[in-house]
Structure formats: C-alpha cells, structure tokens
A and B are shown apart, each in its own frame.
Chain A
C-alpha cells in the first residue's frame, strides 16, 4: 500500500500495533522523509543492524531503519548499505532530531553520513575509534584503556561571555550528564549538552539474552519507565512469534502503564514545587507518590512494577480485593491532588517562577520532533493512547491533554491534567476489565510475516510512556536468541529542545526548566 502518496510499497505487519514496512534505496528514503516532514508526520527513530553474517550480497552488508509516526501508524523504512562503505543519507537536514541518532549509529556500528557534525556521541574516547561494538563477531575480552576526550563544544565569543561547565556528576540525586552554558551575566546565551556518560552497552547485552528474558533488560533501560519499556518489548516479541495475548493481560498492562504515569507525574510536580522553594509541594507530592508506590507493591509485587509485564501477558493477576483498593486510592489521590493544585495555582511566588520560564515555542517543538509531555505542553498533538491507540486504549476514549504556552507552567499543567485523566482511565479500566487468563506461553519465532521485500524481520513495540513514546525494535534468531534489540527513548528527541528552551533564561532557572522536561539519561545513553 501507499503512504503519503509516495512511490513506496508498504506492507502492513502482523501484531497488535499498526506498523507499515517498506524497503527502499537512498533516494526513496530521502524523498519519503521529506514527504513525512511536509505531511505533518513525525520522525521517531533511526538505527542500524549488521547483516554481513546472513547476507550473500556485499551491497547488503548493513541495514538502516528509520521509523516515522503517521496517523495511519508507525512507518518503518529500511535500506541496505554496502559492507565496504556503509554510508547513508544525512536526514538531520530534514529532521534535526536525527543528528545525535546518526552520530550514535556511527559510534556503535560504523554507519556514517556526510553530515557536517561528525563528532562522536556515545563514544567518549574510552574505546577505540575503529571498534564498533554492535558489529557482529567475537567481542574483545580485554577492556580498553581510559582516555581523555577533548569534545569540540561550540564556543560563544564576545564581550563578557563566559562558560559554566556542569557535570557529568550533578549537584543532586540525579543521573550524570554534562551541560556547557555560555552566559553573559546571569543570562544563558547557549546551552550545549554532552551525553553518553551512562552508556553501558545495553544493545550489546541484549544479544546474550533470549526473547523470553529480554523484557528484564528492557525494563531497566530507564527505571522510571520500566512498564512502558517492558510493554513495548513484549509487543515486539509477541509480533515476532505471532503470540496473541489474552485480553485481560492487555488491560492489566494499561492499568500498570497509567499507574506508572501517575507515579512519575506526582514526583515531578513535587520537585517542580521544590525548585521554586515551595518545599511544602515536595513533601506533599512525595507522600502521595509513596502511598501510590506502596499500593503497586501490594497489588503487583513491585513498587515500580518491574518484571510485572512478561512476554505473553502479565506475571500475575490482581488479588481479589485489588479492584476495590485501586478505586479507593483513585478517590483519595484525586482529592489530594486537586487540593494541592489549588495551593500551586494561588501561590504567587510559584506562578511567577513558572510562567514564561523555559519557553519552547510550538513551531520549534514541531521542527525538533519533540514528543510526550514536553511536546504536548507546546501544542504537539500527539499521544499514542489517543492518536494511535492499541487495545485497550481504543476502547476507553483517552482525552489527550495539551497546552500551547510551552513554558514550565504549561508543562506543570499538562502533568496535573494527565494525572486526573489517568485516574479516570484507571477507573474505567477496572470497571470494564474483561475476565480470563492473564498470560499465554510465547510460541517459537515465526518471522516470515514480519519480513518485507528481502529485508529481515523486525518486531516493533511502540508505547506512550509517561515521558513520551518508547519504541522497541527487535530481531531474533530462529532459536529464540535475540539478534538485535534497539530501544528508543523519547528523550533522544527532547534533549535538543532543552538546549533551546534554556536560551534567554537566567542560570538559576535552569534546574527548574530541566526538571519540567525531566528527561532520561539512562534511556538515552543505553
């Protein structure tokens, strides 16, 4: 079939998710990417795979996959690259969000572009420039010596301009990253990020696991989004095996995903209060979050519901009194959140710090492919639960929350409203939840259906986590061993937007702006 009137032959993939796949060549990829941009579609992710061990043609040594979000569903375009010169077209001129993903693809696989930005991204000089960890073959046993990297930050020059380097270890209980501020007085002229500090080779580790245990690692790509990742991974694994999960399992997964969303939003709203010196907000929201996590522990067996979603369904059903306890807690939390919201709304000091701070204009958000909470606070009308729903979201009528101001206040408002909406969804999920089994065994790999026009089978999972849309792309061997698993965090697309949102603000407002984005380092660094 055709998408966006482009001359590519897309094939609909099996599985719960609407995925369309096409294989093309460089020119086809470029023109389709332009068509997506023009047609208001989204750039989601870009990654590569080593095919040299299973391809007979030297022209098909590597494959490059690019995923786009369209109203029809997820469009995955694959091109082959020659083994001896794996060069692919620079998409960052069309979608700037591709820049860091292209650099990471070079660091991990040696697939390159002719982009002007050839700086490494995930590689920090701690492994040799000619070692590409995701290429197949024997893994070097010896570890590489540490080395100092002189990263080429873009320098801002002029009267009174100076730099503040921050990190990788930040001043707080937070993940590591490096921020380079160029400032005049207190005003930020430019912010440049250097990430990749937490790169621990997750995609390489996946190749040691099987389809049956990959969800454990997927659930630890970004611990705060463990439910979203585990669900996305399981969707991908279930697609590759033709597994149909029981209805009740899908509903329980959604219940957990909404609980994860609320837990994180509660924490964020507390920290946003704390960052403007309203410690009352932190104490109150962290109390509510603790109540919430304790209930998850009581009903699902884990405070963050890690390993509760498994390939084929969910690990366990709710206890008999579970529904009642959940409904009661929804009432209590909604009442408390509404009460504290009034305090936030009426607090002049808080509003003064929130309003107009860290503004990300809708047009820029669109240009940068910003997703999730941050995107929705800047008019990006995109929430997979509403725009591309899978079961049970197609049956519970999700009301997407958006705002147009794009400042800290808008991002706080979106979180407040999403909590209320998720509470409503949880009630609806519980009241309408179908009865039955909660898991089935995962069948053997049957990837024939997932292949397209010579390109190898890829199973996909695409889930709207609390931060934004999480994508998992999975390839498996016939014996069930994972061949390639690419996990994509929405933070990839949102980090560059933070660089823009900080410009023109004063340095002391940066922690507040950063918190209002609350992006993942681990999910990004992999």
Chain B
C-alpha cells in the first residue's frame, strides 16, 4: 500500500490547461440558448458511438480521461447509455451495418442532443474522408446519417482537438 501512495505522491498533478473553443469546428450555427449552455458547461454527459472507425479515434478519446487532459475535471463525463447523454461523440465512417444502431442511439438521446463528428473519415475531410466514402458497405461521413453540430477533423484528432470540439459545442459565443 505504501508503494501505491508513494507513487501517487511522486507523480504529482499532471493536468494541463484545457484549450479554448474554436468556432471553425462548427458544422452549423450554435442552436442552443444561453440558459441551457450554462448548464451543459458545468456538467456535460457524452455517449461515444463508434459506427465504423479504425479504432484510432477511440484511443484518443480514451486519452481525454488520462491525467494530462483530465476531462472529467471540467465536468464532462462519459455515460454508458445514450438516454443519459447530452452529446453523442461519433467516430468513423458509418458502416451500413451500424446505420440502424446509430440512428437508434440518436433517437434515444434526449433533446437538445448535440452531435460531434470525430475524425477525417467521420467528417468527410482529408485523405481518409476521400478513401472512406459511400459504398455498398458504408454511408460515408456521420452527417450523412444524423445531424452534426461540430466536426473535429484529424486522423485521428489529438486529444486537445477533441476537447476543443467538445467545448465548442457547448460554447455560446
């Protein structure tokens, strides 16, 4: 036990400052009012949905919870059910086989349900946006299946870019 405690003390605090929101990431204009944004800004619950990514974006979403980014300290946490979520964080192109499940998750999310599309293939940007376009097996980018508020490009986007996208979605300016 002393080793565990010693390691915690030796490690110290690692958390770094969060990035500022970036208006350039918005896919559509902010549709939420100040009252609701003030609430979400203090406690945001996210449901992550992967309808077809390569798992690269998931690695970076995991990193959001590491001590450096410590996203939970900002009042943002991940939920197991879309019914408990304010926001869907959706990665990858939408595989045909996941189209129905993604739509179901979207329907289950209570209003005003924000959607953040993640990654070049999820946003239809960059070389991966081109590679993973519509086909017999894929619906292409997330916006082809459900409405998207904020799009965070990158392959995969860094944890900082992800945080920026999430914070932009709940930013009122």
- How many interface residues does B have (CB within 8 Å)? 53
From A140-148, A246-254, A410-418, the one touching the partner chain is A140-148
| Residues of chain B within 8 A of A209, CB atoms compared | 131
- Check if A201 sits within 8 Å of B137, measured CB to CB: yes
Query: How far apart are the CA atoms of A200 and B121 in the complex, in Å?
Result: 11
Contact with A along B34-74 (1 / 0, CB 8 A): 00000000000000111111111111111101111000000
14 pairs of residues in contact across A and B, judged by CB atoms under 8 Å = A126-B96, A143-B134, A168-B97, A199-B96, A204-B135, A205-B131, A205-B135, A217-B131, A222-B55, A224-B56, A306-B155, A339-B3, A343-B3, A525-B97
Top 3 A-B pairs, shortest CB-CB distance: A223-B56, A171-B80, A201-B137
Please tell me which one of the listed residues B3, B98, B121, B138 contacts residue A176 in the complex, with CB atoms under 8 A apart: B98
B14 within 8 A of partner (CB):
yes
Query: How far apart are the CA atoms of A224 and B50 in the complex, in Å?
Result: 15
- Check if A290 sits within 8 Å of B62, measured CB to CB: no
Q: How distant is B52 from chain A, measured CB to nearest CB, in Å? A: 5
Please tell me which one of the listed residues A176, A199, A221, A303 contacts residue B54 in the complex, with CB atoms under 8 A apart: A221
| Residues of chain B within 8 A of A146, CB atoms compared | 96, 99-100
From B4-12, B19-27, B163-171, the one touching the partner chain is B4-12
| Residues of chain B within 8 A of A176, CB atoms compared | 50-51, 98, 101
- Check if B101 sits within 8 Å of A223, measured CB to CB: no
| Residues of chain B within 8 A of A124, CB atoms compared | 96-97
A289 within 8 A of partner (CB):
yes
- Check if B48 sits within 8 Å of A173, measured CB to CB: yes
Please tell me which one of the listed residues A127, A200, A224, A306 contacts residue B52 in the complex, with CB atoms under 8 A apart: A200
- Check if B56 sits within 8 Å of A306, measured CB to CB: yes
| Residues of chain A within 8 A of B65, CB atoms compared | 286
| Residues of chain B within 8 A of A340, CB atoms compared | 7
- Check if B8 sits within 8 Å of A287, measured CB to CB: no
| Residues of chain A within 8 A of B81, CB atoms compared | 171
| Residues of chain A within 8 A of B128, CB atoms compared | 216, 220
Q: Is the interface of A mostly helix, strand, loop or mixed?
A: loop
In the complex, the number of residue pairs spanning A and B with C-beta atoms less than 8 Å apart equals: 164
A522 within 8 A of partner (CB):
yes
Contact with A along B79-115 (1 / 0, CB 8 A): 0110000000000110111111100010000000000
B31 within 8 A of partner (CB):
no
A346 within 8 A of partner (CB):
yes
- Check if A287 sits within 8 Å of B132, measured CB to CB: no
| Residues of chain B within 8 A of A267, CB atoms compared | 59, 62
Query: How far apart are the CA atoms of A133 and B9 in the complex, in Å?
Result: 57
Query: How far apart are the CA atoms of A306 and B119 in the complex, in Å?
Result: 14
Interface residues of A in 163-190 (CB under 8 A from B): 168-169, 171-176
Q: How distant is B23 from chain A, measured CB to nearest CB, in Å? A: 25
A342 within 8 A of partner (CB):
yes
- Check if A200 sits within 8 Å of B138, measured CB to CB: yes
Interface residues of B in 149-165 (CB under 8 A from A): 155-156, 158
Residues of A within 8 A of B (CB): 124, 126-127, 131, 133, 139-140, 143-144, 146, 168-169, 171-176, 196-201, 204-205, 209, 216-217, 220-224, 226, 267, 280, 283-284, 286-287, 289-290, 293, 303-304, 306, 339-340, 342-343, 346-347, 520-522, 525
Q: How distant is A54 from chain B, measured CB to nearest CB, in Å? A: 23
In the complex, the chain B residue whose C-beta lies closest to that of A521 is B55
- Check if A140 sits within 8 Å of B54, measured CB to CB: no
Supply 5 further A-B pairs (C-beta < 8 A) apart from A199-B137, A216-B128.
A127-B96, A127-B136, A175-B53, A200-B135, A226-B56
- Check if B101 sits within 8 Å of A201, measured CB to CB: no
Query: How far apart are the CA atoms of A140 and B99 in the complex, in Å?
Result: 19
| Residues of chain A within 8 A of B92, CB atoms compared | 198, 200
Please tell me which one of the listed residues B53, B101, B156 contacts residue A522 in the complex, with CB atoms under 8 A apart: B53
Query: How far apart are the CA atoms of A304 and B138 in the complex, in Å?
Result: 25
Please tell me which one of the listed residues A172, A198, A216 contacts residue B98 in the complex, with CB atoms under 8 A apart: A198
- Check if A290 sits within 8 Å of B68, measured CB to CB: yes
Q: How distant is B115 from chain A, measured CB to nearest CB, in Å? A: 15
| Residues of chain B within 8 A of A201, CB atoms compared | 135-138
Query: How far apart are the CA atoms of A4 and B14 in the complex, in Å?
Result: 57
| Residues of chain B within 8 A of A216, CB atoms compared | 127-128, 131
- Check if A343 sits within 8 Å of B7, measured CB to CB: yes
In the complex, the chain B residue whose C-beta lies closest to that of A125 is B97
Query: How far apart are the CA atoms of A216 and B101 in the complex, in Å?
Result: 28
- Check if B97 sits within 8 Å of A224, measured CB to CB: no
- Check if A198 sits within 8 Å of B101, measured CB to CB: no
Query: How far apart are the CA atoms of A169 and B47 in the complex, in Å?
Result: 10
- Check if A223 sits within 8 Å of B156, measured CB to CB: yes
| Residues of chain B within 8 A of A199, CB atoms compared | 95-97, 137
Q: How distant is A104 from chain B, measured CB to nearest CB, in Å? A: 13
Task: Tell me which of B8, B81, B101 has the highest count of chain A C-beta atoms within 10 A of its own C-beta.
Answer: B101
- Check if A223 sits within 8 Å of B137, measured CB to CB: no
- Check if A283 sits within 8 Å of B3, measured CB to CB: no
Query: How far apart are the CA atoms of A174 and B128 in the complex, in Å?
Result: 21
- Check if A223 sits within 8 Å of B105, measured CB to CB: no
Known contacts A169-B105, A224-B59, A304-B59; A343/B136 CB under 8 A = no
Q: How distant is B75 from chain A, measured CB to nearest CB, in Å? A: 18
| Residues of chain A within 8 A of B58, CB atoms compared | 173-175, 223
Query: How far apart are the CA atoms of A347 and B3 in the complex, in Å?
Result: 11
Q: How distant is B105 from chain A, measured CB to nearest CB, in Å? A: 6
In the complex, the chain A residue whose C-beta lies closest to that of B99 is A146
In the complex, the chain A residue whose C-beta lies closest to that of B94 is A200
Please tell me which one of the listed residues A139, A200, A306 contacts residue B93 in the complex, with CB atoms under 8 A apart: A200
Known contacts A173-B61, A284-B7; A168/B132 CB under 8 A = no
| Residues of chain A within 8 A of B48, CB atoms compared | 172-173
Query: How far apart are the CA atoms of A204 and B55 in the complex, in Å?
Result: 20
- Check if A223 sits within 8 Å of B54, measured CB to CB: yes
Known contacts A204-B135, A284-B11, A287-B66; A346/B3 CB under 8 A = yes
In the complex, the chain A residue whose C-beta lies closest to that of B7 is A339
| Residues of chain A within 8 A of B8, CB atoms compared | 280
